Amino acid sequence: MSFGLAKEDKFEIIATLREELHKKTKLEVLCENSSVITQLEKVDFERFVISWHEDIVPEKVQYFILHSESGIVKFSARFEQTPSAGAEVGLSYLIPDLIFFAQQRQNQRFSFMKGYDFFLFWSLQKWRKLLFQD
């Protein structure tokens, strides 16, 4: 994760995570050789909580990827061993010290998460209609 724009300010990191929480952005969790798609459940000044999933082994999480409308945000975080109040709904991690904006976009583009395919079916008749329509 040594590319992109890095942010180290704790307040900017918390603001970014809270913004993505409100947008209900998908969060990809990479554990060893697998990835799981989940969501942020809670963000506070010390920690963030993600939805629990049976395929996530908290001690083996390598890093997180937020698939935002404005780009891709990558970071790693330490698992909070002692659950805090309100963290019983999911897995609690400490706020990261550093996040990377791997891709930043001015306009929204299509992005597809790992493991999801995109198919487009379009007939020649529809294409001609669009092409010659005034």
Torsion angle, alpha carbons of 118, 56, 43, 27, to 10: -10
DSSP string, 39-98: EEEEE-SSEEEEE--TT--GGGEEEEEEEETTEEEEE---B-SSPPTTGGGEEEEEPPS-
CB 39 within 8 A of CB 51: yes
Q: What is the pTM of this model?
A: 0.69
Distances (CA, A) of 36 to 8, 31, 82, 90, 130: 26, 8, 23, 14, 39
Q: How confident is the model at residue 20 (pLDDT cuts 50, 70, 90)?
A: very high
CB 22 within 8 A of CB 10: no
Which pLDDT belongs to residue 27?
92
Domains present along the chain, CATH in parentheses = 5-132 (2.30.110.10)
Which has more confidence, 112 or 21?
Answer: 21
Percent of the chain with pLDDT over 90: 35
CA 19, distance to chain mean position in Å, is: 11
